[in-house]
Structure 1
Amino acid sequence: MKNVTDRTSNPFGMRPPFERQDAGKQPAVFGYGDANADFQVIGGHPGVHGGETTGVPFTETDDGTAVQQLFRDAEFVTGPTNDPRLENLFADYIHMCSLPDGRAPTPEEYAELERYFDAELRAINAHILLPVGERATDHVLGEYTTQRGKLDLEMDALHASEIRGRGFLVVPIRNPTEWTDGDRDAILETIESILASDYRQTKGVATTVG
């Protein structure tokens, strides 16, 4: 079933509790992109993956713009960096609200907003989940696969791997500022390999395996 919406930002009208004190910053960086996407890239929070000024995920910061460039190279993204067009890709954060001075959310603050992320993920119903960084990867593996207890949360080892989940294929991405030689090529090759496959069968296969 396709989502019927022409809204690129916050297509499902999420209204999380937030309060933004810093002048010129967005109170939240909502989910953004193609609401019918097969691929969903998931960051941790605006302070690390960007968008506090633009309101668009994966902009402004070094990690954010590097992730956006990765998906440009994979031909999911076109248009200006701060106002991109995403095709077959949806981008969002585990914790969408901005916090003063760009600080990281506490565990309690993550827990408060994860339900909004989870609701959005279920609405998008993508086939491929691409969590970026340790916090997003931990949540996605814990909530959408049975594999979290079997895996160490070592992003250098998990990076660009394919993990079958409960109805999803999960492909973790190490934060770009931590990439070493070969990391960028590895994740781009994995994405291109998935695109070249019959990846829309992922949901049926993942459900039986994961």
Structure 2
Amino acid sequence: MTHLTDRRSNPFGLTPPFDRSDESAVPAVFGYGDPNADFHVIGDRPGVHGGSTSGIPFALGRRETPLTSLLRSVDFLSDDADGPHLDDCFLSYIHMCTLPAGTEPTADSYARLERFFDAELRAVNAHVLVPIGRRATARVVESYTTRRTRIELDMDALHATEIRGRGFLVVPLADPDRWDESLVARASDRFESILSSDYRQTKGVATTVG
């Protein structure tokens, strides 16, 4: 599928029900990047993974982090006059709306935003899903694989492993603030291995999922 848009942020024009946010925060941190990407990196929410000020998931472009270093190492991330540029990679959150500092979203809040994340995931229609952290991994494994009851959510053990999903290859990563040199190397090696393979054979029809 080819998306006729050059918008990096919220290319699909989602309009979720915004939660109350701090005055300095954006109402929501929408998906960002290449809408035709083969790799979809999925985080929890702005309060956990950043972006409530910049409006870009994982606060991309604000500072160099282990995640941005990984994305640069596999040529997904570069910079231009308009800011961070992603090629073949899209970033988004399962809970895109922001909340006041110190406020935790409820289960109902996650459920209310579920259809917006699903719509974004189906629109991108990536081959490889890369959930980051325990909550995003649980959501992706439960919704897009048949193995939720057979997988222990030990993120250090799951980090940079491959899980065959229902039309997707799922590659979970631990939270980047926990990465040491060994976890960075495992993630980099896994991405390089996938990129050198015929990973597109793992893809099914995403619109039939769910």
Please give the TM-score of this superposition, normalised by the length of structure 1. Answer: 0.90
Q: Quick one: which amino acid aligns to residue 90 of structure 2? A: F
Contact 1:28 1:97 in 2 (8 A): yes
Contact 1:58 1:64 in 2 (8 A): no
Deviation at 1:128, TM superposition (A): 0.3
CA distance in 2, matches of 1:166, 1:64: 34
CA distance in 2, matches of 1:151, 1:63: 34
| Structure-2 change in CA distance of 1:52 and 1:12 (3 Å) | same
Q: Quick one: which amino acid aligns to residue 164 of structure 1? A: R
CA distance in 1, matches of 2:152, 2:61: 27
Alignment of 1:127-146 (within 5 A): 127-146=127-146
Deviation at 1:24, TM superposition (A): 1.8
Alignment of 1:35-50 (within 5 A): 35-50=35-50
Q: Residue 34 of structure 2 aligns with which residue?
A: 34
CA distance in 2, matches of 1:60, 1:91: 10
The answer to whether the aligner puts 1:163 opposite 2:163 as a matched pair is yes
| Structure-2 change in CA distance of 1:173 and 1:104 (3 Å) | farther
Deviation at 1:20, TM superposition (A): 3.4
Q: Residue 7 of structure 2 aligns with which residue?
A: 7
Tell me the SS of whatever aligns to 1:42. strand
| Structure-2 change in CA distance of 1:184 and 1:142 (3 Å) | same
Q: Quick one: which amino acid aligns to residue 39 of structure 1? A: F
Identity of aligned residues (%): 56
After superposition, the C-alpha distances for 1:12-57 in whole angstroms (9 at most, x for unaligned) are 1110001333122101000000000000000000011111111111
CA distance in 2, matches of 1:4, 1:69: 29
CA distance in 1, matches of 2:9, 2:93: 13
Deviation at 1:60, TM superposition (A): 6.7
Deviation at 1:70, TM superposition (A): 1.5
Alignment of 1:1-210 (within 5 A): 1-59=1-59, 65-79=65-79, 83-101=83-101, 103-204=103-204
State how many pairs are aligned.
204
Contact 2:61 2:84 in 1 (8 A): no
Deviation at 1:83, TM superposition (A): 2.7
Of stretches 99-108 and 139-148 in structure 1, the one that deviates more from structure 2 is 99-108
Tell me the SS of whatever aligns to 1:79. strand
After superposition, the C-alpha distances for 1:86-129 in whole angstroms (9 at most, x for unaligned) are 00000000000011005432222111111100111011100000
Structure 2 portions without partners, runs of 5+: 205-210
Please give the TM-score of this superposition, normalised by the length of structure 2. Answer: 0.90
Q: Which structure 1 residue ranges, 4+ long, deviate > 6 Å from structure 2? A: 60-64
Deviation at 1:66, TM superposition (A): 2.8
Structure 1 portions without partners, runs of 5+: 205-210
Contact 2:21 2:98 in 1 (8 A): no
Contact 1:49 1:61 in 2 (8 A): no
Tell me the SS of whatever aligns to 1:90. strand
Deviation at 1:176, TM superposition (A): 1.5
Deviation at 1:67, TM superposition (A): 1.7
Q: Residue 207 of structure 1 aligns with which residue?
A: none
Of stretches 20-29 and 46-55 in structure 1, the one that deviates more from structure 2 is 20-29
Contact 2:25 2:53 in 1 (8 A): yes
Deviation at 1:63, TM superposition (A): 11
| Structure-2 change in CA distance of 1:37 and 1:61 (3 Å) | closer
